[in-house]
Amino acid sequence: MPSPHPALDLLPRLDPALALDDLDWAIGGAAAMALHGYSRHTDDLDVFFHGDDGNRVLHALRRAGVVFATIADPYHYAIFPDLTHPDRRIDLLFAWDDAESDAIAFPDERVVEVAGVQRSVKYFPILLLVACKLQSSRPRDHDDVARMYERGLFDPGQAQVILDRLGGDPDALERLARIRSGSAMTPAGRRQRGR
């Protein structure tokens, strides 16, 4: 069975860091959505680590000769395996907020095909993925949540409980209410949906 998302094939590039003892990590973004049953095309792989593990991860990658670029120190770095395709990359993201940190500490995990080999992959649980996307300011993330809701991939009542536990972000709660009512998808999302 092929990989649920083509960007997962980039994961072996991180093996020098993923081999560290007691390192928590999880895949977020579109690859995590695909692992939950909703696919959206993207060429990047978002891999999250705890913020406190940043130096260990980056040092392990440097020691293995993996070259990465700083996007926003100390939160975001990227590995570009092929500079002729800069969108195909691995985003190394170091989490400092509760939703991302919880997703890293308590990931879902399953065995999938990655670069032709069966391997265990850790990824954001659906409700924490939804919470992260609802707390984002990007309309594309809100459209993703609306589409996951339309497909019945999460219970909005449970998503509200998670948002409340994370501090009750009023904007995120309002977005969730609009999604439940069916009025949340942006015009760009509606155009994509019509394809």
Q: What is the CATH number of the domain that holds 32?
A: 3.30.460
Name the domain boundary from 99, 124, 149. 124
Whether residues 79 and 103 fall in one domain:
yes
Rounded (10°) angle between helices 126-135 and 98-105 = 160
Q: Residue 12 CA to chain centroid, in angstroms?
A: 17
The DSSP secondary-structure symbol of 74 reads T
Whether residues 99 and 28 fall in one domain:
yes
What is the predicted pLDDT for the residue at 183? Answer: 76
Q: Tens-of-pLDDT digits for all 195 residues of the chain?
A: 678 899 999 999 999 999 999 999 999 999 999 999 999 989 999 999 999 999 999 999 999 999 999 999 999 999 999 888 999 999 999 998 899 999 999 999 999 999 999 999 999 999 999 999 999 999 999 999 999 999 999 999 999 999 999 999 999 999 999 999 987 655 544 444 444
Whether residues 98 and 149 fall in one domain:
no
Whether residues 140 and 172 fall in one domain:
yes
Kindly state whether residue 70 falls inside one of the protein's structural domains: yes
DSSP state letters, 6-57? GGGGGGGGGHHHHTSTT--EEEEHHHHHHHHT-----S-EEEEEEGGGHHHH
Whether residues 84 and 151 fall in one domain:
no
Whether residues 119 and 24 fall in one domain:
yes
Whether residues 161 and 69 fall in one domain:
no
Name the domain boundary from 76, 98, 124. 124
What is the predicted pLDDT for the residue at 1? Answer: 61
What is the predicted pLDDT for the residue at 96? Answer: 83
N residues, the chain: 195
Whether residues 93 and 140 fall in one domain:
no
Kindly state whether residue 1 falls inside one of the protein's structural domains: no
Whether residues 77 and 117 fall in one domain:
yes
Whether residues 160 and 92 fall in one domain:
no
Whether residues 19 and 113 fall in one domain:
yes
Whether the CB-CB separation of 66 and 12 falls below 8 Å is answered with no
Q: Count of domains in the chain?
A: 2
Domain span including residue 171: 127-193
Q: What is the pTM of this model?
A: 0.91
Name the domain boundary from 124, 152, 185. 124
Dmax (CA) for the chain in angstroms is 51
What is the predicted pLDDT for the residue at 2? Answer: 73
